[in-house]
């Protein structure tokens, strides 16, 4: 009741302010208003959905979607764009938190099993998706009459991007639900390893497409750029993490301010140097946790507690940027691909768990952590679409629609899996994951 009254008050104020004679000016002026309304209203929407036994994350996403530019337009396109600006910082902070979760000493005994699990899941998905795409290619809206070799190359490229997961969304859901435990740790490890595989496979697939299309010119340059992106990101993040650890050990003042600076550095500098911000921030967090363990643990708890606003804004921005029009044009094909991808994630996770000797909850719930797709996949899709204008636009439309579906379903599925695994809220208990 009180929350409803507060929500009404906030919305009434926003309506009143929007209808007064505001001076014309930069769109950034509306950001604060959007931020304030989004934080309070989206959070209350999350609380409402939680009462209906749905994850809060769904409330944030739906708030963004319903109030976003495609439906109510309460969060207009300029507002949605401005909210996206926070995403760079949010992604860096989210990945940094994930890095703080990775304690090498604790993880080492399980590393071989985790690698086997990831390889089986990805292998299953890659092989099956490639075969299915090659077979059904004439019915897909991407260059249906392509010659066989090019068709195989395009199927390979589509496989690489469709088989990707979103570490950012996974980490964000874990942080928001304050989950901790063996299932959480396994899910994080698999999506992070898959992210590394995505960058490699996408680079190789692009090269194969170029080669088959007769436009290959700088093979070494491309491999070098992939290495730069992966190794460079990890090295850059590790250096930033080491410097931050030194700061924590030697100075230890104004840590909040310095942490914000570190996340900005990881987000902006990584982008400028063509690094992957998620990998760089992850490496930075990992180095802090493993070099300065006591400070790393305190920092982890404090950052996790304070990260909720960042996570809410991240999901509201994601919901507001969902391209509903892409779903409308190519929705059925995208839905079919999403179902296929989900089935393969389920099959791959079960097979992988059996081969890696994993037991429940990993063996029966892991597939639910492999649904989300988001920013990195979208970025790679855009690269392909810009380079190949003949088949690029329909390729992009299909992927945008697929990402839209997975962005809506993925967080909900993961949150449900975390709940069933009994790991929601375990971060607060400070319990070490059982081994």
Partner 1 sequence: MTREPLRSRELGGADPLDTQLGLPRQSLLQRLRDGRLAPLFQRRAALGLRPGIAPAIVLVPMGMLLGPQVLNVLSVEVLAHLQVGISIGLALLGIFVGRALAREVRNLRVIVAGNIESGMTIVIVGLALWFIITQSLVPVGGSAVLVAFCLAVTAAASSGHTADPRSDPAARLASRVADFDDLLLILTGAVLLVLVRRSYGPVSPTLLVAPVVIGVAVALAGLLLFEHSEEESERGLLVLGAVSLIGGASAYLMTSSLAAGLVAGLVWTLLPGRADEIVSREAQKLQHPLVALLLVAAGAFFVPSVMVLWLVVPYVLFRLVGKILGAISTAALLPGIRAVDLAGYLVPPGVIGVGFSLTFMLALPAEAGRIVVSVAAAGTLISEVLGMLLVPAAPTSNGATDEMANAETTP
Applying CB under 8 A, does 302 fall inside the site for partner 1? yes
Tell whether residue 119 is a contact of partner 1 (CB under 8 A).
Answer: no
CA distance 381 to 391: 12
**Binding-site string for partner 1 from residue 312 to residue 331, where x marks contact by CB under 8 A and - marks none:** x-------------------
**Residue 158 near residue 134 (C-beta atoms within 8 A):** no
Binding-site size for partner 1 (CB under 8 A) equals 55
Should residue 260 be labelled a site residue for partner 1 when binding is judged by CB under 8 A?
Answer: yes
Mind giving me the DSSP string for 150-163? HHHHHHHHHHHHHT
Rule CB under 8 A: say whether 308 interacts with partner 1.
yes
Q: Which window, 9-17, 70-78, 213-221, 368-376, contacts partner 1 (CB under 8 A)?
A: 9-17
Neighbour-count burial of 238, counting CB atoms closer than 10 A to its CB (0-12 exposed, 13-18 middle, 19+ buried): middle
Q: Closer to partner 1 at the Cβ: 79 or 370?
A: 79
Of 4-12, 58-66, 354-362, 402-410, which part binds partner 1 (CB under 8 A)? Answer: 4-12
Angle between helices 293-306 and 77-101 (to 10 degrees): 150
Nearest distance in Å: CB 262, partner 1: 12
Query: In the Cβ-directed half-sphere of 433, how many Cα atoms lie within 13 Å?
Result: 21
- The 3-class secondary structure across 222-265, one letter per residue, is HHHHHHHHHHHHHHHHHHHHHHHHHHHHHCCCCHHHHHHHHHHH
- Identity of the residue, 9 or 431, whose beta carbon is nearer to partner 1 in the bound complex: 9
Sign of CA dihedral 290, 292, 293, 297: negative
Helix (H, G, I), strand (E, B) or coil at 23: coil
Taking CB under 8 A as the binding criterion, the range among 158-166, 252-260, 346-354, 361-369 that sits at the site for partner 1 is: 252-260
Q: Between 36 and 422, whose beta carbon lies closer to partner 1?
A: 36
Q: Which two tokens stand for residue 8?
A: 């009404």
Q: Give the nearer residue to partner 1 in terms of CB position, either 50 or 324.
A: 50
For position 82 contacting partner 1 by CB under 8 A, the verdict is yes
Of 187 and 263, the one with the shorter C-beta distance to partner 1 is: 263
Using DSSP's 3-state secondary structure scheme, residue 257 falls into helix
Q: Is the peptide bond before 230 cis (omega within 30 degrees of 0)?
A: no
Q: Does 273 bind partner 1 (CB under 8 A)?
A: no
Closer of 56 and 350 to partner 1 (Cβ): 56
Residue 82 Cβ vs partner 1, minimum distance, rounded to whole Å = 8
Q: Is 256 in the site for partner 1 (CB under 8 A)?
A: yes
Q: Which of 202, 112, 110, 218 is nearest to 164 (CA)?
A: 202
Task: Mention every residue, 6+ apart, whose C-beta is less than 8 A from residue 240.
Answer: 262, 265, 266, 280, 284
Sole window of 115-123, 180-188, 235-243, 250-258 interacting with partner 1 (rule: CB under 8 A): 250-258
Q: Which is nearer to partner 1, 16 or 108 (CB)?
A: 16
Task: Point out which span in 111-119, 233-241, 307-315, 327-335 binds partner 1 (CB under 8 A).
Answer: 307-315
Q: Which of 163, 173, 192, 295 binds partner 1 (CB under 8 A)?
A: 295
Q: Name which of 13 and 332 has its Cβ closer to partner 1.
A: 13
DSSP character string of 156-223: HHHHHHHT---HHHHHHHHHHHT--SHHHHHHHHHHHHHHHHHHHHHHHHHHHHHHHHT----HHHHH
Determine which residue in the list 111, 305, 422, 431 makes contact with partner 1, applying CB under 8 A: 305
Distances in whole angstroms, Cα of residue 159 to Cα of each of 188, 206, 400, 415 = 22, 12, 15, 26
13 is an interface residue for partner 1 by CB under 8 A = yes
The answer to whether 432 contacts partner 1 (rule: CB under 8 A) is no
What are the two backbone dihedrals, phi and then psi, of residue 340, each rounded to the nearest 5 degrees?
-60, -45
From candidates 214, 220, 250, 435, binder to partner 1 by CB under 8 A = 250
Angle at alpha carbon of residue 291, lines to 289 and 295, rounded to 5°: 55
Asked whether position 30 contacts partner 1 by CB under 8 A, the answer is yes
Site residues (vs partner 1, CB under 8 A): 2-3, 5-6, 9-10, 12-14, 16-18, 20-23, 25-26, 28-37, 39-40, 43, 82, 85, 248-257, 259-260, 295, 298-299, 302, 305-309, 312
């Amino acid at each position: 009741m009180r929350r409803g009254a507060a929500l009404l008050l906030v919305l009434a104020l926003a309506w009143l302010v929007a209808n007064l004679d505001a001076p014309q000016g930069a769109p950034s002026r509306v950001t604060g208003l959007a931020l304030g309304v989004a934080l309070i209203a989206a959070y209350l929407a999350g609380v409402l959905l939680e009462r209906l036994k749905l994850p809060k994350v769904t409330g944030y996403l739906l708030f963004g979607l319903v109030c976003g530019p495609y439906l109510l337009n309460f969060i207009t396109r300029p507002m949605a764009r401005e909210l996206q600006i926070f995403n760079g910082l949010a992604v860096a902070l989210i990945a940094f938190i994930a890095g703080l979760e990775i304690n090498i000493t604790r993880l080492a005994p399980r590393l071989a099993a985790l690698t086997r699990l990831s390889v089986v899941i990805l292998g299953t998905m890659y092989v099956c998706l490639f075969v299915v795409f090659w077979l059904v290619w004439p019915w897909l809206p991407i260059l249906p009459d392509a010659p066989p070799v090019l068709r195989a190359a395009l199927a390979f490229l589509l496989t690489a991007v469709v088989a990707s997961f979103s570490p950012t969304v996974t980490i964000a859901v874990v942080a928001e639900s304050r989950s901790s435990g063996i299932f959480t740790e396994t899910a994080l490890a698999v999506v992070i390893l898959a992210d590394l595989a995505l960058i490699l496979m996408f680079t190789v697939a692009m090269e194969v497409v170029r080669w088959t299309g007769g436009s290959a010119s700088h093979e070494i340059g491309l491999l070098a750029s992939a290495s730069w992106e992966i190794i460079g990101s990890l090295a850059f993040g590790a250096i930033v993490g080491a410097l931050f650890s030194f700061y924590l050990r030697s100075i230890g003042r104004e840590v909040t301010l310095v942490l914000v600076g570190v996340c900005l550095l990881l987000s902006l500098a990584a982008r400028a140097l063509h690094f992957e911000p998620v990998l760089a921030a992850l490496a930075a967090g990992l180095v802090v946790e493993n070099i300065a363990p006591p400070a790393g643990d305190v920092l982890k708890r404090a950052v996790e507690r304070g990260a909720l606003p960042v996570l809410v804004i991240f999901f509201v921005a994601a919901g507001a940027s969902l391209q509903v029009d892409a779903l409308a044009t190519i929705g059925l094909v995208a839905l079919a691909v999403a179902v296929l991808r989900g089935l393969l994630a389920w099959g791959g996770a079960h097979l992988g768990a059996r081969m890696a000797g994993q037991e429940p909850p990993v063996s029966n719930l892991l597939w639910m952590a492999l649904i989300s797709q988001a920013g990195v996949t979208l970025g790679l899709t855009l690269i392909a679409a810009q380079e190949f204008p003949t088949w690029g636009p329909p390729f992009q439309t299909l992927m945008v629609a697929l990402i839209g579906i997975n962005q809506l379903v993925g967080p909900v599925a993961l949150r449900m899996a975390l709940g069933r695994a009994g790991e929601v809220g375990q971060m607060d208990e400070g319990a070490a994951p059982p081994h």
